């Protein structure tokens, strides 16, 4: 087959600039051939090289006494959890594939992150996810423009809602299919809906695995003369150049990129997982690398670069499931469930026996060399020869122009209209029914979150809690990001994302250990988008330093941009913590009638950047709530101290929707029994509105319950620690009753629960 001529148009189609192409020629000392052009295009894509964000990522703290493998060294970071045990965890995105082919895009995202974990020698034990979609319900904002200007606007909005529902259903179906089949439980996460994600969903997946310190595996090609084995599924044409596809904007023509979406087989991955862990338990492996983004290309050049060696492979020996595949296709395919293993010379029979036992394809495809080259043959004919380190580690790095966006519009309270008890009564029900706040049971019911029998807290709580039986350790994990905050004030929004993740762990009884992140932004060539990136990274770095949580790795996903514009900046934070005693595991819902309800933190004010304003008016206006790291840390320490003293029955973070939503969720989120509450605020302060009291999103607030007998002791201990606190009321009854300024607001629990629990199911049945 004749290769196409290298033309400026072909170079541009491969995502390389003229300057980058000149750099390729300098590295090679000649013109690249078609296969080499493809290899450079995927390895120098943003998805693989982080060329637009590498300078920013250096701002993150990455070291600490518990860090065993730090960010950038391997496929996932590894953190010590004591007694010789460790956890490997990471978050990755599959946004573009999920926009084009939601089921397979999401499914293979799960498969890819699971491979990153067992490549480290860890057994995957649970997953989380952070998902974002456009609206799936028709909302008619109060006080805003309730009637579209023409019928075409109505039709466009309804069409977008239908598309978002299809994407949502497909993504959830893909996640549940892969996770359920492979037997790794999905035990938590977050899901938000906003117009900025119309047509460009975010699918961020997290996985955590457990291993002994001595079991950490490395992805380096060590040992000159060692054989290189390909193991796992055969290579096909699916996922062709997927990394390059993920490094450009989504357009109306993106459906033509469906061949760039991989097709997953969770049953094959389960076999691969068991075979690889069995092989790693022997002394046969010198290095191991997942064939994820960029497939064979990435795995060969990265293992060679890490080992300071070279790798030579012959593509004729690669197991294939399609006839007539070219070297270009074989090298750029991202077919799933494949690994590259550097085997110690003389141990080939060990590999063969294990993979035959697990009925998986394998082939010895190459050798580790001493010349630093990634050399690719086809039937012993040379088809590509590139310096491995320059390909893997010396991609161009850019400092793009950053330009601050204009200051966000500030909220004028008068624009909210009448502040009446009736309006606040209706607003709570509308907020609870909004899909971003509503129960995600429609999703959780599709996930087998009880497989492995380690889930201690069901999905939907502030943080997931899992018993790692092998280690006898209770691990808590959460994913968080308020993209509305980040769209208005990127740095403050990112700081709050870290603080809220740490707060959620504290509410579960955990001490934070480390962070992984998924940075989702628009096209970095737009100066305002790049400013958002720099501001969010600065905010995350500040937060990680404040909470002593090093970043162990993660993912950058740029070009989340459709013709309608960029998504809201979404720097998702995945945080992991440790609970030292099972007795300290704390739930987020009320559990006993007669318990006292106490607010840790201030009542707060200012409705800027709140879900209340966004849902009720359709506007995103500031200011974003302010955050004081010292106050936040003191709050978490005080709560954990109370939990360890046995004084806390429940603890729930106060976040989207404010105090009224937190109280309602505490009443109705217990799957076994719902408890009402009687709350009294007394008089309103000067110039404070009722809706402002109920729905502001001031930071550093937690609602707890304790026995009536312990309430005074809890308040005294909090005062001694300098934590503002007040008793709000008492658990009990069949309604949430709030008395304030002479007004009594009552919501029957059945009404609250119906609005909150059935909202997403109703939308998806429409």
The catalytic site residues sit at 47, 94
Please state at what angle helix 629-644 crosses helix 711-720, rounded to 10 degrees. 140
Tokens representing residue 240 in the block = 């062709």
User: Where are the extended beta strands (E) located within 320-412?
Assistant: 338-343, 362-369, 373-378, 381-387
CA gap 660, 229 in Å, rounded = 58
CA gap 190, 260 in Å, rounded = 27
Q: Which helix (H) or strand (E) holds 600?
A: strand 596-600
Identify the residue whose tokens are 């494949």: 338
Q: Answer yes or no: are the C-beta atoms of 44 and 20 closer than 8 Å.
A: yes
CA gap 698, 724 in Å, rounded = 13
Residues of 204-224 as b/e, b for ≥16 C-beta within 10 angstroms?
Answer: bbbbbbbbeeebbbbbbbbbe
Q: In degrees, to the nearest 5, what angle opens at C-alpha 204 toward C-alphas 199 and 210?
A: 165
Beta partners for 417?
none
Other C-beta atoms closer than 10 Å to the C-beta of 751 total 16
- Integer angstrom CA distances of residue 250 from 17, 254, 522: 19, 6, 10
CA gap 236, 240 in Å, rounded = 9
Tokens representing residue 26 in the block = 């300098």
With residues binned 3-state (H G I as helix, E B as strand, rest as coil), the percentages for the chain, rounded to 5, are 40, 25, 35
CA gap 412, 240 in Å, rounded = 51
Q: Answer yes or no: are the C-beta atoms of 737 and 746 closer than 8 Å.
A: yes
Q: Answer yes or no: are the C-beta atoms of 622 and 410 closer than 8 Å.
A: yes
Among candidate residues 78, 50, 129, 97, the one with its CA nearest the CA of residue 514: 78
Phi/psi of residue 172, nearest 5 degrees: -60, -40
Phi/psi of residue 745, nearest 5 degrees: -110, 130
Among candidate residues 24, 35, 40, the one with its CA nearest the CA of residue 1: 35
Tokens representing residue 99 in the block = 């926009």
Identify the residue whose tokens are 């799957």: 671
Report DSSP state, residue 258: G
Among candidate residues 270, 266, 284, the one with its CA nearest the CA of residue 353: 284
Q: Which helix (H) or strand (E) holds 147?
A: none
Walk across the sheet containing 202-212 and list its strands. 67-69, 77-82, 85-93, 202-212, 123-133, 186-193
């Amino acid at each position: 087959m004749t290769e196409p001529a290298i033309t400026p148009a072909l170079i541009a189609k491969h995502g390389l600039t003229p300057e980058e192409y000149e750099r390729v020629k300098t590295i090679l000392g000649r013109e690249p051939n078609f296969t080499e052009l493809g290899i450079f295009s995927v390895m120098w894509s943003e998805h693989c090289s982080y060329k637009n964000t590498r300078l920013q990522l250096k701002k993150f703290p990455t070291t600490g006494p518990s860090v065993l493998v730090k960010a950038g060294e391997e496929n996932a970071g590894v953190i010590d959890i004591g007694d010789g045990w460790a956890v490997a965890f990471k978050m990755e995105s599959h946004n573009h594939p999920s926009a084009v082919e939601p089921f397979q895009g999401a499914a293979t995202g799960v498969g890819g992150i699971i491979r990153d974990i067992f490549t480290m020698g860890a057994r995957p034990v649970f997953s989380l996810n952070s998902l974002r979609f456009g609206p799936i319900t028709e909302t008619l904002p109060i006080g805003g423009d309730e009637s579209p200007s023409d019928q075409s606007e109505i039709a466009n909005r309804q069409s977008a809602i239908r598309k978002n529902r299809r994407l949502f259903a497909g993504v959830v179906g893909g996640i549940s299919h892969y996770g359920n089949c492979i037997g790794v439980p999905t035990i938590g996460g977050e899901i938000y809906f906003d117009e900025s994600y119309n047509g460009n969903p975010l699918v961020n997946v997290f996985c955590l695995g457990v291993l002994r310190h001595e079991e950490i595996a490395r992805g380096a090609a060590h040992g000159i003369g060692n054989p290189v084995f390909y193991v796992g599924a055969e290579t096909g044409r699916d996922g062709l150049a997927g990394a390059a596809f993920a490094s450009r904007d989504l357009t109306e023509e993106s459906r033509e990129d469906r061949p760039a979406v991989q097709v997953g087989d969770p049953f094959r991955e389960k076999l691969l997982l068991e075979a690889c862990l069995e092989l790693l338990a022997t002394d046969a492996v010198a290095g191991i690398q997942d064939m994820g983004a960029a497939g064979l290309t990435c795995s060969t050049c990265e293992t060679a670069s890490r080992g300071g060696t070279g790798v030579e492979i012959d593509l004729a020996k690669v197991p294939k499931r399609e006839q007539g595949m070219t070297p270009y296709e074989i090298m750029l395919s991202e077919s799933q469930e494949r690994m590259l293993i550097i085997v110690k010379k003389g141990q080939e029979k060990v590999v063969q026996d294990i993979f035959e036992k697990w009925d998986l394809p394998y082939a010895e495809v190459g050798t580790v060399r001493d010349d630093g080259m990634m050399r690719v043959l086809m039937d012993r004919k040379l088809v590509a020869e590139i310096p491995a380190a320059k390909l893997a580690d010396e991609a161009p790095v850019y400092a793009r122009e950053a330009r601050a966006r204009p200051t966000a519009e500030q909220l004028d309270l008068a624009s909210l209209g009448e502040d009446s008890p009736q309006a606040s009564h209706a607003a709570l029900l509308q907020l609870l029914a909004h899909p971003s706040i509503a129960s995600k049971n429609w999703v959780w019911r599709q996930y087998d979150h009880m497989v492995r029998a380690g889930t201690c807290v069901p999905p939907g709580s502030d943080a997931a809690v899992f018993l790692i039986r092998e280690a006898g350790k209770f691990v808590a994990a959460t994913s968080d990001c308020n993209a509305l905050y980040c769209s208005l004030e990127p740095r403050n929004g990112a700081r709050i994302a870290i603080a809220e993740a740490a707060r959620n762990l504290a509410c579960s009884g955990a001490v934070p250990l480390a962070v992984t992140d998924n940075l989702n932004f628009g096209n970095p060539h737009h100066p305002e988008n790049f400013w958002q990136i720099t501001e969010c990274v600065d905010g995350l770095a500040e937060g990680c330093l404040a909470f002593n949580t090093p970043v162990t790795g993660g993912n950058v996903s740029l070009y989340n941009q459709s013709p309608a514009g960029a998504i809201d900046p979404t720097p998702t934070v995945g945080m992991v913590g440790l609970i030292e005693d099972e007795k300290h595991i704390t739930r987020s819902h009320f559990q006993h009638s007669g318990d006292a309800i106490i607010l840790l933190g201030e009542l707060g004010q200012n409705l800027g950047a709140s879900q209340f304003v966004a849902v009720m008016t359709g506007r995103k206006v500031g200011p974003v709530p302010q955050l004081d790291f010292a106050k936040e840390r003191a709050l978490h320490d005080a709560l954990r101290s109370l939990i360890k003293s046995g004084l806390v029955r429940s603890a729930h973070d106060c976040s989207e929707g404010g105090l009224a939503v937190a109280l309602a969720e505490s009443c109705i989120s217990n799957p076994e029994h719902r408890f009402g509450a009687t709350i009294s605020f007394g008089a309103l302060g000067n110039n404070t509105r009722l809706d402002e009291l109920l729905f502001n999103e001031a930071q550093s607030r937690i609602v707890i319950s304790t026995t009536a007998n312990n309430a005074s002791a809890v308040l005294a201990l909090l005062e001694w620690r300098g934590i503002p606190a007040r008793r709000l009321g008492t658990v009990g009854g069949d309604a949430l009753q709030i008395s304030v300024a002479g007004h009594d607001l009552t919501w029957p629990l059945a009404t609250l629960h119906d609005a909150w629990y059935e909202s997403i199911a109703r939308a998806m049945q429409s």
